Amino acid sequence: MRKMCKKIITLILVLVLTASMAACGNSEKKVDTDSTSEGANGTEATTAPESEGKETEESNLSKSGFNPLDYGMKPFEDTVHIKIPVFDRALDTVPIVNDNYYTKWINDNFGKNMNVEVEFIPITRTDTMGAYNLLLASDNWPTIFMEYDWDKVCQWSYDGALSTFDINEFKSIAPVWFEKAGGQEMFDMFKLKDGYTFAPALRPEWKAFGTFAMFYRKDWYEKAGLELPKTYDEYFNAIKTFIELGYTNGVPPIGKGPYSSNFQPGAFAEWPRNEEDWVMHSGVSIAPLPYEPMREALRRQNKEYNAGFVSKEFELNTGTNNADTANFINGNLFAYGNWLSADMPDLRAFYEKNPDAKLGILGNTTVYYNGYEEGVTEVGHGRSGNPAGIFVGFSSKASADELKAAWLYMEWMAQPDVLFFMQNGVEGENYTLNDKGIPIQNVDYEGESKLGFATNKDYWCIAVEIRQDGTMEDTLASLAPQGLPQDFTQELIDGFHLSQMYAADGIIYPDPFFSTPIESVNAYAGDLNSLFIEAATNLTKCKPEEFDALYDKYAAQYLDAGYKEIMEERLQAFKDGNCSKLSDIAAGRKPFVPSDPSKIAIYK
């Protein structure tokens, strides 16, 4: 059994200015729209109509279609059946993921014309690996495997679920997809020792651009007569003031859910980064509990818990028990996080209940400190996004025709007009064009062609991670939530430009990724993650004077439970040249010189 590879960061960049309420990278719980759902077994196939040369009246679906034959593709002589995974986020505000207008449209256009039946397999978003494991165990393998997390896709590869492929053959069948993804350089970046295993989808402006946003109660600062904070102490005192003034109606103002393996110490890490520490302790698959910066990150959690900022039973705040969304909509929560989309129902519900409220977005040039704190770090630094979008792998059980059909499906989805339709729907129903030709979503549309989650992202992400509407500024205008009393477009643009500057400065950087299996991760991850959740929860809830002794106890247990072996194996892989390297600026090999100090006054 081949083992799991190390995980590369896949969190979409919120911008490195996120407040300590996000615990230097992860204590602030986003309001998760990916609630639990039923597993993927027993799903019905969404199949193409029979294509035996019958003359049929053109359907409404095909009128909006783009025939793959027009792109030089040739249909199969015999019908080919492929299974494509699609994330099921268990949202009642979007159509059923495996049987809707767009799955039918795909089969009516790509499927019927290519003699391919496309079956969409729902994958529970909150338990991706569990959903895939059910499919594997029932011998119901998808033709394509898709996931954002590097360690998960490597796990599939090392366990024999994925096949390697001839990159020249892939390029000949899917040339548009190949070039859109970044070409040979991007494929080489994620090549494993056994060969090419993954097709990494495009992630535009990966260092600086993300589609997750944290909205905060800007009006609370104005009502309280407070300036926006530039230090953690100012932030802490502001939250305390909001509670004392009754703005939260007795509800803890900071949303927080259970700890996970993706809790990182963020700005508490040293600057410049020690490259070996970065290799041993970075990632989202296992939290680095014994890493000394984690002590201070969890100490901050303890301080906020004991100040009454978070729920006393935050570890139960998950799934159907998640009260954060309701608390935000009711006007009692300080901040709310979610993926950007033209249609954000929770924000609309918030303004309906709080018509005079004013929100801002964390992470722009005017909000919060950027991670610098006296005595903690000299530069506000942090994680960037992943260089790739979703990783696409191919079943080792797929036949040659199934594999070719999957590649042709990817190539068809990458065509600009197909992408545009999948992302926007039917003109005049789902959207209208502005004077620049940019689609403006009709968020109130509830007809047959209603778009899925984030304008159908879980279908078109196989080609690109972020929709592109003209310039990046145009794209942000399309992503800005519509139908609200406030327009957040300029704040999003300002934040993007600031993040671009951070990327140019070299102070945001991805986690390491490994081209060789880190077997100890696969062996110990389960036990370590359970231990970390227990440790972090108890360290957050303990009395402040008990914190250090309890931390030392758990850190020692963590090392003995396998983390020491993981550190050693990761470090050896790095020394053997089987791991990516830290940027020269972040590693101190080049001096850090901010590109525009006037924009960030706290630079030293």
Task: Indicate whether 561 pLDDT > 90.
Answer: yes
Tokens 């003109």 — which residue? 427
- Please write the tens of the pLDDT for every residue from 570-595: 999 999 999 999 999 999 999 888 77
CA distance 312 to 546: 18
Task: Indicate whether 61 pLDDT > 70.
Answer: no
At 563, is the secondary structure helix, strand, or coil? helix
CA dist list (Å): 284 to 148, 184, 485: 11, 27, 37
The pLDDT confidence band at residue 59, using thresholds 50, 70 and 90, is: very low
Helix (H) or strand (E) holding 324: helix 324-329
* Alpha carbon of residue 377 to chain centroid: 27
Task: Indicate whether 222 pLDDT > 50.
Answer: yes
Task: Indicate whether 28 pLDDT > 50.
Answer: no
Query: Are the C-beta atoms of 319 and 36 separated by less than 8 Å?
Result: yes
Strands 212-217 and 431-433: unpaired
Q: Cβ contacts of residue 183 below 8 Å, gap of 6+?
A: none
- Please write the tens of the pLDDT for every residue from 116-167: 999 999 999 888 888 999 999 999 999 999 998 887 888 888 889 999 999 9
Q: In what order do the strands lie in the sheet with 391-394?
A: 144-147, 391-394, 199-200
Strands 144-147 and 391-394: antiparallel
Region 466-485: what's the mean pLDDT?
89
Amino acid of residue 528? L
What per-residue confidence (pLDDT) applies to 375? 62
Q: Looking at per-residue confidence, does 325 or 44 come out higher?
A: 325
Least confident of 301-310, 317-326, 413-422, 498-507: 317-326
- Please write the tens of the pLDDT for every residue from 361-416: 886 433 444 455 666 666 778 888 888 999 999 999 999 999 999 999 999 999 99
CA distance 408 to 402: 10
In 94-165, alpha helices (H): 101-106, 112-114, 128-137, 150-158
Task: Indicate whether 604 pLDDT > 80.
Answer: no
- Please write the tens of the pLDDT for every residue from 94-114: 999 999 999 999 999 999 999
The pLDDT confidence band at residue 38, using thresholds 50, 70 and 90, is: very low
Query: Among candidates 526, 30, 532, 525, which has minimal Cα distance to 298?
Result: 532
CA distance 322 to 344: 18
**Token pair of 445, please?**
């549309």
At 119, is the secondary structure helix, strand, or coil? strand
**Token pair of 66, please?**
């783009």
Report the percentage of the chain scoring pLDDT > 90.
Answer: 57
Task: Indicate whether 13 pLDDT > 70.
Answer: no
Kindly report the average pLDDT of the chain as a whole number. Answer: 84
What per-residue confidence (pLDDT) applies to 321? 61
Task: Indicate whether 550 pLDDT > 90.
Answer: yes
Q: What is the pTM of this model?
A: 0.79
What per-residue confidence (pLDDT) applies to 570? 96
CA distance 565 to 350: 48
The pLDDT confidence band at residue 63, using thresholds 50, 70 and 90, is: low
- Please write the tens of the pLDDT for every residue from 506-537: 888 888 988 888 889 878 988 999 999 999 99
**Token pair of 84, please?**
């494509």
Q: Cβ contacts of residue 317 below 8 Å, gap of 6+?
A: 29, 255, 256, 257, 258, 311, 323, 324
Q: Cβ contacts of residue 521 below 8 Å, gap of 6+?
A: 3, 4, 5, 6, 151, 285, 286, 566, 569
CA distance 78 to 236: 66
Q: Mapped to the 3 state alphabet, what secondary structure does 428-463 carry?
A: CCCEEECCCCCEEECCCCCCCCCCCHHHHHHHHCCC
Region 289-306: what's the mean pLDDT?
95
What per-residue confidence (pLDDT) applies to 374? 62
Amino acid of residue 522? N
**Token pair of 512, please?**
């390491």
User: Rounded to 10 degrees, what is the CA torsion of 234, 236, 239, 240?
Assistant: -110
Query: Among candidates 12, 17, 24, 14, which has minimal Cα distance to 599?
Result: 17
Query: Are the C-beta atoms of 41 and 88 separated by less than 8 Å?
Result: no
* Alpha carbon of residue 434 to chain centroid: 29
CA dist list (Å): 594 to 13, 371, 375, 379, 401: 20, 15, 20, 10, 53
- 348-492-326 Cα angle (round to 5): 30
- 147 pairs with which residues across the strands? 391
Tokens 């830290």 — which residue? 582
- 517-518-523 Cα angle (round to 5): 115
**Token pair of 135, please?**
């499919």
What per-residue confidence (pLDDT) applies to 43? 30
Tokens 């997750």 — which residue? 212
Report the percentage of the chain scoring pLDDT > 70.
Answer: 85
In 461-603, alpha helices (H): 472-479, 489-505, 519-541, 547-558, 564-575
CA distance 459 to 448: 17
- Please write the tens of the pLDDT for every residue from 328-355: 999 999 999 888 888 899 999 999 999 9
φ, ψ dihedrals at 228, nearest 5°: -65, 140
Task: Indicate whether 462 pLDDT > 80.
Answer: yes
CA distance 193 to 190: 10
Query: Among candidates 117, 62, 66, 200, which has minimal Cα distance to 406?
Result: 117
φ, ψ dihedrals at 166, nearest 5°: -80, 115
Task: Indicate whether 20 pLDDT > 60.
Answer: no
DSSP notation for 261-298: TT---GGGS-SSPPHHHHHHH-SSSS--TTSHHHHHHH
**Token pair of 536, please?**
């972090």
Amino acid of residue 102? Y
- 338 pairs with which residues across the strands? 213
What per-residue confidence (pLDDT) applies to 166? 97
**Token pair of 599, please?**
């924009």
Q: Cβ contacts of residue 336 below 8 Å, gap of 6+?
A: 31, 214, 215, 255, 324, 325, 328, 346, 347, 350
Tokens 């935000």 — which residue? 328
